[in-house]
Structure 1
């Protein structure tokens, strides 16, 4: 079975751009996707990256141009300046990890996609408990129970972050197939070529 390891953050716009496309190309090539929510707050300092608000103005300005460009190119809706961003994604990531731990990978991928849309399309606060419960319910999960039990995913979240560190991941989304890394949704074409080999 072909397997793609998928390291990501549920608040990343680039992860949002690539999420559904990743699932589509995996399906078309008979591959499975292993979602691995990762704490970029721990990854950035050791990899030379900077949080958005610490980046020089010219880099921040270019990022906005790229977001607009990709939104148009992919024909995907995007709020360039979402109301709730930056946002603490910890609880959202824990809920995804807890869903994975419950052997529900499909549910975790669905929840991840809906959390990304919540931030970048729907102007919802994924640090808010009520929002997280609602998004989980909309994803076909039991939102109240999942939110209450989110700490069950803490060890897995930490494990994924440690794995990412050891694999020299430095951004999101990050895909690994047969040991080969692909950074960014703009590398999905290369991932697809690898899957076709």
Structure 2
């Protein structure tokens, strides 16, 4: 995917294919029609870039680890105190805390830090999690209130990336909701869980 390929400048979607382009906007790096890579769109580009290579690099990169690229302002902004940017995910800043917390406690903690609970919407973000935090499980920021409701992120997009057979509302029924929250496990998949489940790792983010 583009954000993990150093030579990739932007992705362009056309004819049911997502095409990755290098920095000069001419050489195609790869093509794919796999839907999973369309989960998140970071930029919208015209067919022909008007910026030269140095300007593009300047726009895409915040070389200081304490700064991230803001999609709201199209500029580098400083991470909030206690947060850092990881090079593979340059559009957010992250903070982690090792302390036993359930969903409500983790969500409240992140809000107290000026961020939100982890929202790994894309395959890239889930890959980031298993690489940076191996053998860990965390709560993520999505809940439901009734049986059969679809798990969504705050922006209204569906949560994708569940393990086969999930969500399953284990020990619940067609009318009784037992698993209203989601965890992300070290295999990179989501599972629905009771919101009372607690874990020793909390990940917060902000953009």
Determine if the TM-score, normalized by the shorter chain, exceeds 0.5.
no
The structure that is helix-richer by fraction is 1
Higher RCO, 1 vs 2 (CA within 8 Å, ≥6 residues apart) = 1
Which structure has the larger Rg?
Answer: 2
The structure that is strand-richer by fraction is 2
TM-score by length of 2: 0.25
TM-score by length of 1: 0.25
